[in-house]
């Protein structure tokens, strides 16, 4: 049986201030927990209402068997999914030299947890290892974000920083590296020359890219609306901003990798 203090502590990690102070987050579900275990992330404790099987690489972690009603008391889900893990928040360093050799995502004030989680899954699918987020972007260890990543959080490094400062450092230290941004006045994505490294900047769901970040963009991109083109309507109003941020990210990443 779970002690009251243990239940209280796990539930306290549903709040960002407590995750920050404790350096811990909660993950739920068989797939997500297994992905975290096999990634090398530090899993402190596992609670399971069933016979959850650890991989041979993580046999040293104890699994605490609990009842389903106890799992409900510590879960963030309406329908708890068999297993819950308390994990350490990893610390990642931003190495501009390494980032400049790869393709990366930059997220400007993405606020919907589902969008961020899906974008992390998209990055994982297209082999993008790093995402740089503005300080105003929803926190990656929010339970809703973790759930939406479906385990991709174990393979994609998410960094938070001041984007104007970060992009200024990119411009100063790596002037040859391209910064692509999805904008209303961008060039057709399918007709623009794309590199295999650099940064793809995705703006806020409703406001797009912040004005102070626009000067750092070297290549403006637009996902054209083929429905608008077919009906001879101007593409303004059928832009990346009118697409879900995650869908826009998926289309852009797919085109980069296709090249």
CATH number at residue 219: 3.40.1280.10
Picking from 88, 115, 136, the residue at the C-terminal end of a domain is: 88
d(CA 198, CA 39): 26
Picking from 88, 112, 132, the residue at the C-terminal end of a domain is: 88
Check whether residue 72 and residue 171 sit in a common domain.
no
> Taking a C-beta distance cutoff of 8 angstroms, is the pair 116, 244 a contact?
no
Picking from 33, 54, 88, the residue at the C-terminal end of a domain is: 88
Tell me, what DSSP letter sits at residue 202? E
pTM exceeds cut of 0.85 = yes
Check whether residue 177 and residue 214 sit in a common domain.
yes
Check whether residue 129 and residue 173 sit in a common domain.
yes
Check whether residue 76 and residue 157 sit in a common domain.
no
> Taking a C-beta distance cutoff of 8 angstroms, is the pair 75, 94 a contact?
no
C-alpha dihedral over 111, 112, 116, 121, to 10 degrees? -170
pLDDT by residue for the chain (259 residues), tens only, comes to 799 999 999 999 999 999 999 999 999 999 999 999 989 899 999 999 887 766 545 557 778 999 999 999 999 999 988 999 999 999 999 999 999 999 999 999 999 999 999 999 999 999 999 999 999 999 999 999 999 999 999 999 999 999 999 999 999 999 999 999 999 899 999 999 999 999 999 999 989 999 999 999 999 999 998 766 555 544 444 444 468 899 999 999 999 999 7
First CA to last CA distance, the chain: 55
Residues in Cβ contact with 47 at an 8 Å cutoff, skipping those fewer than 6 apart: 2, 10, 63, 64, 66, 70, 71, 74, 83, 84, 85
pLDDT of residue 100: 95
Check whether residue 138 and residue 254 sit in a common domain.
yes
C-alpha dihedral over 204, 245, 89, 135, to 10 degrees? -10
Where in the chain does DSSP place strands (E)?
24-28, 43-48, 63-65, 83-88, 103-107, 130-134, 157-161, 179-188, 198-202, 219-222
Structural domain count of the chain: 2
Check whether residue 142 and residue 101 sit in a common domain.
yes
d(CA 192, CA 188): 6
Residues in Cβ contact with 165 at an 8 Å cutoff, skipping those fewer than 6 apart: none
d(CA 156, CA 133): 13
Residue 27 tokens read as 């993950």
pLDDT of residue 53: 66
Check whether residue 117 and residue 231 sit in a common domain.
yes
Query: Coil, strand or helix: which one is 208?
Result: strand
Taking residue 69's Cβ as centre, other Cβ atoms within 10 Å add up to 9
Check whether residue 217 and residue 107 sit in a common domain.
yes
Check whether residue 162 and residue 119 sit in a common domain.
yes
Check whether residue 105 and residue 133 sit in a common domain.
yes
Check whether residue 142 and residue 203 sit in a common domain.
yes
d(CA 34, CA 56): 11
Domain coverage including residue 32: 4-88
Check whether residue 70 and residue 101 sit in a common domain.
no
**CATH number of the domain encompassing residue 48:** 3.30.1330.30
């Amino acid at each position: 049986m779970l002690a009251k203090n243990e239940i209280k502590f796990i539930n306290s990690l549903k709040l960002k201030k407590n995750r920050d102070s404790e350096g811990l987050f909660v993950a739920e579900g068989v797939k997500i927990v297994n992905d975290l275990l096999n990634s090398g992330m530090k899993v402190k404790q596992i609670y399971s209402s069933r016979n959850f099987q650890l991989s041979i690489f993580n046999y040293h972690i104890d699994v605490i068997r609990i009842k389903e009603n106890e799992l409900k008391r510590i879960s963030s889900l309406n329908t708890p999914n068999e297993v819950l893990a308390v994990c350490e928040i990893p610390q990642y360093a931003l190495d501009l030299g390494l980032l400049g050799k790869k393709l990366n995502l930059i997220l400007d004030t993405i606020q919907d947890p589902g969008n961020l989680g899906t974008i992390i899954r998209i990055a994982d699918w297209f082999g993008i290892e790093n995402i740089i987020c503005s300080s105003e972007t929803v926190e990656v260890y929010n339970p809703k974000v973790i759930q939406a990543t479906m385990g991709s959080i174990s393979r994609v490094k998410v960094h938070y920083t001041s984007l104007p400062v970060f992009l200024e450092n990119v411009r100063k230290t790596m002037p040859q590296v391209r910064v692509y941004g999805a904008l209303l006045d961008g060039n057709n994505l399918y007709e623009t020359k794309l590199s295999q490294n650099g940064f793809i900047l995705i703006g806020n769901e409703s406001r797009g890219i912040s004005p102070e970040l626009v000067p750092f963009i070297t290549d403006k991109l637009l996902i054209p609306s083929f429905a608008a083109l077919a009906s001879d309507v101007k593409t303004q109003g059928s832009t990346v901003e009118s697409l879900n941020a995650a869908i826009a990210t998926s289309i852009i990443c797919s085109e980069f990798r296709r090249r």
